[in-house]
Structure 1
Amino acid sequence: MVMVAMAFAFGRFLTIEGVPSDLAALITNATTEPIAVLLLLNLVLLVAGMFLEPVAAIIILAPILLPIAQSVGVDPIHFGIIMTCNLTIGFCTPPVGINLFVASSIAKVPVEDVIRRILPFMVAMFISMALVLFVPELSLLFI
């Protein structure tokens, strides 16, 4: 619980300092190519997922990053799925990786062992993320 509280506090600090707005300006100034923008958004979301609790990251970043994604033609539902996938991957990676600590505590093994054992699953998550990113029809199939 302390980690979740610290993640929320860190998210609040980032918002107060204007980091998300600066980040949005950086992305929009860097490129206008849709794939390049999506890759930059993926990178931002993966890094945010590593340090922020997913709910805090969504609350902070969604209102800022969604207009950027829409400006290059990304469907809002597709972007929501991209965001969720990226934050989920980030939630399972160090340095914060709350899920790693929970798994370590439940299994009563060191975090290093959990990290080593989760690597094949991380590869699968990155492959599925790439599929969602580059084949939007997968996430928009039933809409």
Structure 2
Amino acid sequence: MGFAGADYLGGMAQQAKYDRREQYEQIVSGLLPGETIIAVYDAVGVGTGFIGLTDRRVIMQDRSFVGKRVAITSIPYGKVTAVSVVSNKSWAGSFFSSGTIAVHVGTHTYEVDVRGVEKTQHIHNVILHYASSH
């Protein structure tokens, strides 16, 4: 996992986290003025892409479209109605070993599979933090 730049969450400065430099750079190229990256995590499974978190939105890349097409979806935190983690671990147990992050926007749900306890927990907590402050 790499670290780049500085960003802000929960009152403390920290480095942006990412799995793959090229995914991080793709997010950087599409940032709005004043927008800061928190993390960019690689997705796992069929049609993989990534999930990016900034201080303004969730960015998901989906490579599962026919004809090698790729979709990049930006979801402002103010539009998120709920965030879920689907996992085989209990919430009260050792949290998540890996799982699916589901971001609910109105009646639509965007899902991405991620690997690792820390990544899954971090994605969930960042989205919840920013969505609940809107």
Pair in the same fold by TM > 0.5: no
Please state which band the TM-score falls in when normalised by the shorter chain.
under 0.3
Looking at secondary structure, tell me which structure has more strand per residue: 2
Q: Which structure dedicates a bigger proportion of its chain to helix?
A: 1
Alignment TM-score, normalising by the size of structure 2: 0.24
Structure-1-length-normalised TM-score: 0.23
Higher relative contact order (CA 8 A, sep 6+): 1
Larger gyration radius, structure 1 or structure 2: 1
